[in-house]
């Protein structure tokens, strides 16, 4: 989907605005992370897995807001790149504990810095107070409080 539509009569439709703001950010973010060999989606998984307490696939999926079946492929991808590894939980052998490798942790660090810079740049089109209000408003709308 193109994200650079004409302004048109659509700039007051909430669905349109949320969708296209997201599309635009995804483009920017993808471009910024590409040199690191990752993308926003994968980075979010890494960030979740970096939790101090080790997470099972399902717990990680819950925090990411994705399905557990989707999580399978995400962890597959990380494992294929040696960014994470599955360990069988000693206390419940049904569960996979997913742990970042040293490589994964390093990538996370570098990529997170890139992400923060990218977000800042993206929001730089807004007055600073508006950017703050935007973020807090999105938090409310996205999480239902």
Partner DNA sequence: AGCTGATCGTCAGTGATACTGACCATAAAC
Partner DNA sequence: GTTTATGGTCAGTATCACTGACGATCAGCT
Point out which residues bind DNA (CB under 7 A). Answer: 1-2, 41, 56-58, 61, 66-72, 75-76, 86, 92-96
Nearest distance from residue 40's CB to its own copies, in Å?
Answer: 5
How many angstroms separate the CA atoms of 138 and 72, rounded?
A: 28
Among its own copies, DNA, none, the one that 51 touches (CB under a kind-dependent 5 to 8 A) is its own copies
Edge to edge, the sheet with strand 96-100 lists 55-56, 96-100, 84-88
Nearest distance from residue 52's CB to DNA, in Å?
Answer: 18
Among its own copies, DNA, none, the one that 14 touches (CB under a kind-dependent 5 to 8 A) is its own copies
* Dmax (CA) of the chain: 58
User: Which residues are CB-neighbours of 98 under 8 A, at least 6 positions away?
Assistant: 49, 54, 55, 56, 57, 60, 75, 78, 84, 85, 86, 87
- Quick one: 67 or 76, whose CB is closer to its own copies? 67
Nearest distance from residue 4's CB to DNA, in Å?
Answer: 10
């Amino acid at each position: 989907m193109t994200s650079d539509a004409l302004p048109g009569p659509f700039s007051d439709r909430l669905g349109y605005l949320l969708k296209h703001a997201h599309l635009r950010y995804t483009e920017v973010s993808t471009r910024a992370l590409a040199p690191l060999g990752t993308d926003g989606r994968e980075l979010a998984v890494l960030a979740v897995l970096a939790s101090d307490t080790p997470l099972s696939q399902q717990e990680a999926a819950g925090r990411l807001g994705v399905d557990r079946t989707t999580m399978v492929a995400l962890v597959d991808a990380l494992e294929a790149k040696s960014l994470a590894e599955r360990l069988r939980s000693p206390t419940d052998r049904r569960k996979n504990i997913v742990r970042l490798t040293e490589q994964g942790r390093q990538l996370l660090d570098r990529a997170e810095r890139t992400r923060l810079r990218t977000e800042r740049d993206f929001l730089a089109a807004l007055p600073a107070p508006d950017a703050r209000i935007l973020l807090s408003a999105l938090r409310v709308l996205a999480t239902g409080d």
